[in-house]
Structure 1
Amino acid sequence: MMATPVVTKTAWKLQEIVAHASNVSSLVLGKGSGRLLATGGDDCRVNLWSINKPNCIMSLTGHTSPVESVRLNTPEELIVAGSQSGSIRVWDLEAAKILRTLVGHKANICSLDFHPYGEFVASGSQDTNIKLWDIRRKGCVFRYRGHSQAVRCLRFSPDGKWLASAADDHTVKLWDLTAGKMMSEFPGHTGPVNVVEFHPNEYLLASGSSDRTIRFWDLEKFQVVSCIEGEPGPVRSVLFNPDGCCLYSGCQDSLRVYGWEPERCFDVVLVNWGKVADLAICNNQLIGVAFSQSNVSSYVVDLTRVTRTGTVAQDHVQDSRPLAQQPPNPSAPLRRIYERPSTTCNKPQRVKQNSESERRSPSSEDDRDERESRAEIQNAEDYNEIFQPKNSISRTPPRRSEPFPAPPEDDTATVKEATKPNPVVDIQFPMPNFQVPSQPPAVSSTPAPKAEPTIIPATRNEPIGLKVADFLPAVKIPQQVELVDEDAMSQIRKGHDTMCVVLTSRHKNLDTVRAVWTTGDIKTSVDSAVAINDLSVVVDLLNIVNQKASLWKLDLCTTVLPQIEKLLQSKYESYVQTGCTSLKLILQRFLPLITDILAAPPSVGVDISREERLHKCRLCYKQLKSISGLVKSKSGLSGRHGSAFRELHLLMASLD
């Protein structure tokens, strides 16, 4: 009999799938099993996958704009997804249905996390706010304010008492959930902070930044423990080993293994995964996932072949540091251990609300959104195996426990193991200060141009009428390319100049309209906005006029209705919303008047004012008839826009 060949690979590519019909915008691994993958796409869907299986298990619909952030809870029973428009949806995977729709943020949802014990979700947004949601009651418990830029990552502490946040403003903040206030701020990074992660046992926090450093923070003394410098690029994903002995960093095309007391690199494993987006551990294997355009790739690193502590190093290389600097015994923690409660956590203390949106009662619009959200099972066999309860005691069945097999050694399509450096590589740092040298933050690679969606979602109420693609040169290379700092800055400067020209022109146009507006002549103000031939200026003006119905007159309708027809056909979501609002106001306020005047018998004699009114009504009726066909054709759309067009279609029924 032939002997079974010994597997000698440390890292290999497991699989590549086409995850969405359009570009993938976010993904996350389930940390409970390490085998469940959720992806969010520009197609507004959330798709669920089992690692190393080719078919989608479930597809979740309901969002009307690209899904920017996804997160699974630890038991992998619930998933939460946040969109570019600021809405959040929670699905129950075992029941295969939408659970909650949460609305309150005003911009992209950049980060989400489930509370480890209670039924709460934290969300961080580009609007700089952090919100804590009670998903049982569909309400916002508290809003945390303090960051000045987008909140990129949120993590609850293992004991569920704290929330850590990382933001583009270069800071990490720690929030006390019970007291509802910030406990501490950790400055020191010189670039946007992309990720934070709590140590699984000790009072220790790790943060990774675009300044190419990882910092470790003591949560008892609230000070820096150490700083890892020399990362090959921006730090996007980090993960503590389950026993807390080391930290894994998913670098560009490599996995690095770090200790923090003292700061040192235990191992470097080359993995051809590009920019890895998330990490998880399963059966002594580390799973990494990366995405490019519509494709998602998964990779495996065999952790039994990776050096994870400094104790192994003594067999390979002599550690010349003084005894005081030798690595500590990993079995003896240096700081306090988390105390995990045996039951679910208490509801956070209710504090003074900051705005009317903090506690929302369920509305008919929310209910309609939930009815229009779907959990479509794509692969019943895999779904039943993973999510369906096997008995009344165990709600979630155990996942398979076999490790992922390595490919044959002669498989040319897999990633070959690179020559490993010495098992322990000391990183030289200036001691005892931990200041980061002044350097420009690294700029991540520019993705290939995305296919333009039918509706471009709005991130704020004020439309700007611009696309990012307007300011970036077209990238003809199909795959993503890492740019050097100089090239990236050159592209940004070119886009900056273009944007300044566009915004300066728009500002000048708005000043022109505002000058007329101050005279009190609303009709002339709208006429001047239309004459400028800039639809974004018309939208800005209508957003103001729509707030006060008394400003509307019949002659104003004759000017606005042709512009509304253009807005309803726009590819910008905010333009469509403004057009629908204005048209609904006109129909409710003026349609009965128009139909009554047109149906009235002709008058005897000459009545100039009546003739003028009749002329305006005929003109409005003609314009409304032109728009009615467009409204009817769009009333079959799904989501928020479909609902708005169906309501308009009913209001316009009397035109027929």
Structure 2
Amino acid sequence: MAQKKRAWKLQEFVAHAANVNCLAMGHKSGRVMVTGGEDRKVNLWAVGKPNCIMSLTGHTTPVESVRFGHAEEMVVAGSLSGALKVWDLEQAKIMRTLTGHKSSIRSLDFHPYGDYAASGSLDCNIKLWDIRRKGCIYTYKSHTNGINCLRFSPDGRWIASAGEDGLVKLWDLTAGKLLADLKLHTGPVNVVEFHPNELLLASGSSDKTIKFWDLENFNNVSSTEGDSVPVRSIYFHSDGTCLFSGGNNILKVYSWEPSQCYDTVPLAWGEVSDIAIAQNQLIGASTHQTNVCVYVVDLQRVQPFGKVPHEDGNCQSSHSSSGRRSFITERPPTQCSRQASVPKEDQNETTSSSPDDDRESLADIKNPADYNEIFRPKSTLSHSPPRNVEPFLPPDEGMYSSSNNISKLSRCTSNEPEPVRGPVTKSQNNPPQISKQAANHQPASPTNSQQASKPPAVQKALHKPPKPQNTPQATKTYVESSKPSAVQKPPMRGPSNPETPDVSANDFLPKHIGSGDDRKRLQNVSEADILSSLTKGHSAMLTVMSGRSRNIQIVRAMWTSGNTKTAIDSAISMNDPAVMVDVLNILNSKQALWNLDICSILLSQLGDLLNSKYESYVLTSCSSLKILLKTFGPVIKSNMESVPSIGVDISREERAKKCNMCYIQLGAIRETVAKRHSVPGKLGNVYRELNLLMQTLD
């Protein structure tokens, strides 16, 4: 068998009518790109597809830098004239036009959880923008040459900037001052990246080295050996295990304590513009004149993730024993002594563009199908639906053999129809149990795939009788006699076995027949018709359960990777109440998993489940609401009653925003509960208890 490729070229396409100046990947999904060009347009693309999804126009000079928001629901673009435009991709419209820089904007980034953005320009200045108020909050001045790159820290407190002057600078947002100058590079610094967890910063330079900085004492931790090419792009793996470095026609994988090169992958991608990771694949994109090239690297064949790890154990996180503190990403409250008003120097130079500029900025949707799939939200709280999770295949491989079982699952079931939704019986007090088959990420395939490919509705399949080869009178008699009672359920049976003894069609016929004539007429119904009807019902139900198992496996894979919020977003986008109930049961069993983020996301789902016709769904929703009200009711109430803060307190504003969202949704749920608190029985008791807990919000 031929050895599988480690890397390959996925696609090349013409992106703009003039030269492409900038490109950025969507790092949340790794499946979308945004480009800016000399033609003054900003174009959006789905990785692996050659057609433009949407084109954003309105800049009057060439676009020099672009950046996705962290949830990939916004794009900001900076131009040669120093103007920024922020676009809402879900609404397909421009949000803001911001001006103030005196020269080309070279780098952009969004705050990790606030409505703020930062820009670095050739005018040597860094500006922090409030997107909502169209204003510049602060201007940071210290670089003596242009800004090549800037990034917010994961906790949103700092900005790191890389300059043509060879310096890396660290800025404190709340204090509005320079924290540290990092000066060991001997050439222009092209890129900086924060470690996703630890207080660590990496910087890549034209001096062909990457340096790692400890952000507790601002000392240099280590430095890579001088490479043969300048470092253009770096990116930490999501679990912080290693750092990927993209240079001219090469990819390298590094550790830093001690400094070590794990692996080197030659690639013909030129000077790569940006890299992202999705489904154990690294996606790199580069530009050349009007073209964009996309390359894929299979990380399962790259150390330290490959099948042959280092024998000395270096494939493990070698920096985990450093004892370095982590970023606090729970958004703790911050204090700021600066006034809320914009400083005078910024007021004079950062006036927003006129409304006419916004009206001239258009979002032209080129590919409605891809746009609706990627950017159009399915609900008010589910911003962007999950991207395609299927890995990209090498051009000469028909099947992609990989240990990523979730990817296999998505691929082998991609041609199946949308499964029919139905109730799942489960205990309301216990979390859902995933079978051994699901735990191993193995899909449950229908025994009769041809019949399962086009399943009828479950109820029709279970209740619709076969066509008798007899008179119309016989047909009527059979239908009436074979109708199940209101409480009757179809028997659950395993796959059919032709060698099973003592099994006949009579075992599945109705047991109570009105008369001897009816019995004779039923005998005229062929065994093949009866078995066909039973098989259709079985196949339909099996398809439903198989689809549900597949969805649970996908959510489980995201959950176990440590990203609970992404797993919940994925479950919501599946639009399957049964899957949502399974997720809620797990959250209810582990109450420590709840936070304000999850509350604001799930409240609309809880309201929908309260109106379900299945009692188990309603009880699960009520259990979640009890936990939410007991844990976060006082927090929500106190934030609704608090007075506005003075100064820039991003954490407090975000917390108040989420509490307000929760309060509005709880108000709608409260009306439903108030109408049903007089219902008799167990549900009535639950509704009355919820009604009392709702009063804590008054």
Which band: TM-score by shorter chain?
0.5 to 0.7
Asked if the contact 2:138–2:176 (Cα under 8 Å) also holds between the matched residues in 1, the reply is yes
Q: Residues of 2 paired with 1:326 and 1:47: CA distance?
A: 39
Query: Are residues 329 and 233 of structure 1, via their aligned partners in 2, closer, same or farther at CA, if it must alter by over 3 Å?
Result: closer
Q: Which TM-score applies when normalising by structure 1?
A: 0.58
Q: Residues of 2 paired with 1:393 and 1:67: CA distance?
A: 32
Pair 1:193-2:181 in alignment: no
Among 221, 231, 255, the residue aligned to 1:235: 231
2:271 counterpart SS class: coil
Query: Are residues 382 and 211 of structure 1, via their aligned partners in 2, closer, same or farther at CA, if it must alter by over 3 Å?
Result: same
Pair 1:406-2:394 in alignment: yes
Once the two structures are superposed, residues 81-112 of structure 1 have per-residue CA deviations (whole angstroms, 9 ceiling, x without a partner) of: 00001111000000000100000000000110
Asked if the contact 2:301–2:307 (Cα under 8 Å) also holds between the matched residues in 1, the reply is no
Pair 1:394-2:382 in alignment: yes
Pair 1:42-2:38 in alignment: yes
Once the two structures are superposed, residues 150-182 of structure 1 have per-residue CA deviations (whole angstroms, 9 ceiling, x without a partner) of: 001000000111000000010000000000001
Asked if the contact 2:98–2:350 (Cα under 8 Å) also holds between the matched residues in 1, the reply is no
Pair 1:99-2:87 in alignment: no
Q: Residues of 1 paired with 2:337 and 2:126: CA distance?
A: 15
Q: CA deviation at 1:380?
A: 0.4
Among 237, 249, 252, the residue aligned to 2:248: 252
Query: Are residues 14 and 343 of structure 1, via their aligned partners in 2, closer, same or farther at CA, if it must alter by over 3 Å?
Result: farther
- Segments of 5+ residues of structure 1 without an aligned counterpart are 320-324, 412-656
Q: Residues of 1 paired with 2:202 and 2:212: CA distance?
A: 5
Asked if the contact 2:169–2:180 (Cα under 8 Å) also holds between the matched residues in 1, the reply is yes
**Structure 2 counterpart of 1:404, which letter?**
F
Q: Residues of 1 paired with 2:334 and 2:2: CA distance?
A: 48
Q: CA deviation at 1:232?
A: 1.8
Asked if the contact 1:175–1:181 (Cα under 8 Å) also holds between the matched residues in 2, the reply is yes
Once the two structures are superposed, residues 566-593 of structure 1 have per-residue CA deviations (whole angstroms, 9 ceiling, x without a partner) of: xxxxxxxxxxxxxxxxxxxxxxxxxxxx
Query: Are residues 199 and 311 of structure 1, via their aligned partners in 2, closer, same or farther at CA, if it must alter by over 3 Å?
Result: farther
Once the two structures are superposed, residues 529-582 of structure 1 have per-residue CA deviations (whole angstroms, 9 ceiling, x without a partner) of: xxxxxxxxxxxxxxxxxxxxxxxxxxxxxxxxxxxxxxxxxxxxxxxxxxxxxx
Q: Residues of 2 paired with 1:348 and 1:63: CA distance?
A: 36
Query: What is residue 366 of structure 2 aligned with on the other side?
Result: 378
**Structure 2 counterpart of 1:335, which letter?**
R
1:163 counterpart SS class: strand
Query: What is residue 129 of structure 1 aligned with on the other side?
Result: 125
Q: CA deviation at 1:331?
A: 4.9
2:272 counterpart SS class: coil
Query: What is residue 115 of structure 1 aligned with on the other side?
Result: 111
Query: What is residue 526 of structure 1 aligned with on the other side?
Result: none
Q: Residues of 2 paired with 1:174 and 1:334: CA distance?
A: 22
Asked if the contact 1:141–1:358 (Cα under 8 Å) also holds between the matched residues in 2, the reply is no
Q: Which runs of 4+ in 1 moved over 2 A?
A: 308-315, 325-334, 341-363
Query: What is residue 367 of structure 1 aligned with on the other side?
Result: 355
Q: Residues of 2 paired with 1:45 and 1:136: CA distance?
A: 24
Which is helix-richer, 1 or 2? 2
Q: Residues of 1 paired with 2:337 and 2:24: CA distance?
A: 27
Query: What is residue 485 of structure 1 aligned with on the other side?
Result: none
Q: CA deviation at 1:212?
A: 0.6
**Structure 2 counterpart of 1:392, which letter?**
T
Asked if the contact 1:47–1:57 (Cα under 8 Å) also holds between the matched residues in 2, the reply is yes
CA RMSD of aligned residues (A): 2.6
Pair 1:167-2:135 in alignment: no
What are the equivalent positions in structure 2 for 1:318-467 lying under 5 Å apart? 329=318, 331-332=320-321, 334-341=323-330, 349-350=338-339, 355-358=344-347, 366-408=354-396
Query: Are residues 371 and 310 of structure 1, via their aligned partners in 2, closer, same or farther at CA, if it must alter by over 3 Å?
Result: closer
Asked if the contact 2:300–2:306 (Cα under 8 Å) also holds between the matched residues in 1, the reply is no
**Structure 2 counterpart of 1:86, which letter?**
G
Pair 1:287-2:283 in alignment: yes
Query: What is residue 74 of structure 1 aligned with on the other side?
Result: 70
Asked if the contact 2:9–2:296 (Cα under 8 Å) also holds between the matched residues in 1, the reply is yes
Asked if the contact 2:11–2:48 (Cα under 8 Å) also holds between the matched residues in 1, the reply is yes
Pair 1:61-2:57 in alignment: yes
Q: Residues of 2 paired with 1:207 and 1:351: CA distance?
A: 33
Once the two structures are superposed, residues 431-480 of structure 1 have per-residue CA deviations (whole angstroms, 9 ceiling, x without a partner) of: xxxxxxxxxxxxxxxxxxxxxxxxxxxxxxxxxxxxxxxxxxxxxxxxxx
Q: Residues of 2 paired with 1:398 and 1:372: CA distance?
A: 31
Once the two structures are superposed, residues 476-507 of structure 1 have per-residue CA deviations (whole angstroms, 9 ceiling, x without a partner) of: xxxxxxxxxxxxxxxxxxxxxxxxxxxxxxxx
Q: CA deviation at 1:310?
A: 11
Query: What is residue 492 of structure 1 aligned with on the other side?
Result: none
Query: What is residue 221 of structure 2 aligned with on the other side?
Result: 225
Query: Are residues 328 and 342 of structure 1, via their aligned partners in 2, closer, same or farther at CA, if it must alter by over 3 Å?
Result: closer
Q: CA deviation at 1:54?
A: 1.1
Q: CA deviation at 1:308?
A: 2.3
Once the two structures are superposed, residues 337-360 of structure 1 have per-residue CA deviations (whole angstroms, 9 ceiling, x without a partner) of: 111125898899447865544477
Asked if the contact 1:133–1:142 (Cα under 8 Å) also holds between the matched residues in 2, the reply is yes
Q: Residues of 2 paired with 1:326 and 1:91: CA distance?
A: 41
Once the two structures are superposed, residues 330-387 of structure 1 have per-residue CA deviations (whole angstroms, 9 ceiling, x without a partner) of: 5545300111125898899447865544477866x52111011011101000000011
Among 273, 276, 279, the residue aligned to 1:277: 273
Q: Which TM-score applies when normalising by structure 2?
A: 0.54
Query: Are residues 343 and 188 of structure 1, via their aligned partners in 2, closer, same or farther at CA, if it must alter by over 3 Å?
Result: closer
Query: Are residues 186 and 362 of structure 1, via their aligned partners in 2, closer, same or farther at CA, if it must alter by over 3 Å?
Result: closer
What are the equivalent positions in structure 2 for 1:541-556 lying under 5 Å apart? none
Asked if the contact 1:189–1:209 (Cα under 8 Å) also holds between the matched residues in 2, the reply is yes
Q: Residues of 2 paired with 1:369 and 1:348: CA distance?
A: 35
Q: Residues of 1 paired with 2:88 and 2:315: CA distance?
A: 48
Query: Are residues 298 and 344 of structure 1, via their aligned partners in 2, closer, same or farther at CA, if it must alter by over 3 Å?
Result: farther
Pair 1:207-2:195 in alignment: no
Count of equivalent residues? 399
Query: Are residues 331 and 134 of structure 1, via their aligned partners in 2, closer, same or farther at CA, if it must alter by over 3 Å?
Result: same
Q: CA deviation at 1:276?
A: 0.8
Q: CA deviation at 1:270?
A: 1.1
**Structure 2 counterpart of 1:200, which letter?**
P
Q: CA deviation at 1:221?
A: 1.0
Asked if the contact 2:135–2:342 (Cα under 8 Å) also holds between the matched residues in 1, the reply is no
Q: Residues of 2 paired with 1:14 and 1:310: CA distance?
A: 21
Pair 1:265-2:278 in alignment: no
Asked if the contact 1:142–1:358 (Cα under 8 Å) also holds between the matched residues in 2, the reply is no
| Residue identity (%) | 56
Query: Are residues 120 and 147 of structure 1, via their aligned partners in 2, closer, same or farther at CA, if it must alter by over 3 Å?
Result: same
Determine which structure has greater relative contact order: mean sequence separation of CA pairs < 8 Å that are 6+ residues apart, divided by chain length: 1
2:270 counterpart SS class: coil
**Structure 2 counterpart of 1:49, which letter?**
W
**Structure 2 counterpart of 1:258, which letter?**
Y
Query: Are residues 172 and 65 of structure 1, via their aligned partners in 2, closer, same or farther at CA, if it must alter by over 3 Å?
Result: same
Q: Residues of 2 paired with 1:410 and 1:337: CA distance?
A: 43
1:140 counterpart SS class: strand
Asked if the contact 1:161–1:176 (Cα under 8 Å) also holds between the matched residues in 2, the reply is yes
Asked if the contact 2:205–2:232 (Cα under 8 Å) also holds between the matched residues in 1, the reply is yes
What are the equivalent positions in structure 2 for 1:21-32 lying under 5 Å apart? 21-32=17-28
Q: CA deviation at 1:286?
A: 0.3
**Structure 1 counterpart of 2:301, which letter?**
R
**Structure 2 counterpart of 1:58, which letter?**
M
